[in-house]
Structure 1
């Protein structure tokens, strides 16, 4: 059964902005924005804690009210685009993708309205 997303994008961004920092690693910073091109999606910018100075940009699109498709858009190190195929970056990206899915699951009561 396909359930459409029944929540305003602005409300969705607010819920994510509130919840995502709670599931990320301590010290990581997250910024959640509306995806201007897709009402069923949000953009997530995560800056890693520590000396690595990495930042990750993800697109998180709702397939339905329960499932999200997370796509890594860009990785930067100290403000410059970096090779996202290296093992440490892949591991971090997978870790953040898990956190994003975890956040989406915790927001299901809001997205299922």
Structure 2
């Protein structure tokens, strides 16, 4: 489906994600959603974990088409210092958050799939 491009303004998309994503992550965690300045089909998402770990996960969410997103990890910080995200506990958290990002994108399909 070559015509299945994202038909929504990036600012509207950011606003929709800001409203919807908190429903898909743990109540104690918080998230921020920004427009990706270099790519109108992409968003930047930061998820800050609750508790004393103070982990922060930065993701790029790119719309492949109006329904499918590609999620990639940009950085993982602990107390504002980059850490190795390849450890098993980090990979588990990354998988969980990636799943939540995909679930949020699915929840917004009525908006993104015109």
TM-score range, shorter chain: over 0.9
1:112 is displaced (CA, Å) by 1.0
CA RMSD of aligned residues (A): 0.6
1:112 is the counterpart of 2:107: no
User: Residue 62 of structure 2 corresponds to which residue in structure 1?
Assistant: 61
1:82 is the counterpart of 2:83: yes
Aligned partners of 2:86, 2:99: CA distance in 1, in Å? 18
Look up the SS of the partner of 2:58 in the other structure: strand
For structure 1, the 5+ residue unaligned runs are none
How many residue pairs get aligned? The number is 113
1:36 is the counterpart of 2:27: no
User: Residue 23 of structure 1 corresponds to which residue in structure 2?
Assistant: 24
Report runs of 4+ in structure 1 exceeding 6 Å deviation.
Answer: none
Look up the SS of the partner of 2:72 in the other structure: strand
User: Residue 104 of structure 2 corresponds to which residue in structure 1?
Assistant: 103
Single out whichever of 6-15 and 48-57 deviates more from structure 2: 48-57
1:45 is displaced (CA, Å) by 0.3
Look up the SS of the partner of 1:72 in the other structure: strand
TM-score (norm 2): 0.97
TM-score (norm 1): 0.98
Aligned partners of 2:55, 2:88: CA distance in 1, in Å? 14
Look up the SS of the partner of 1:13 in the other structure: helix
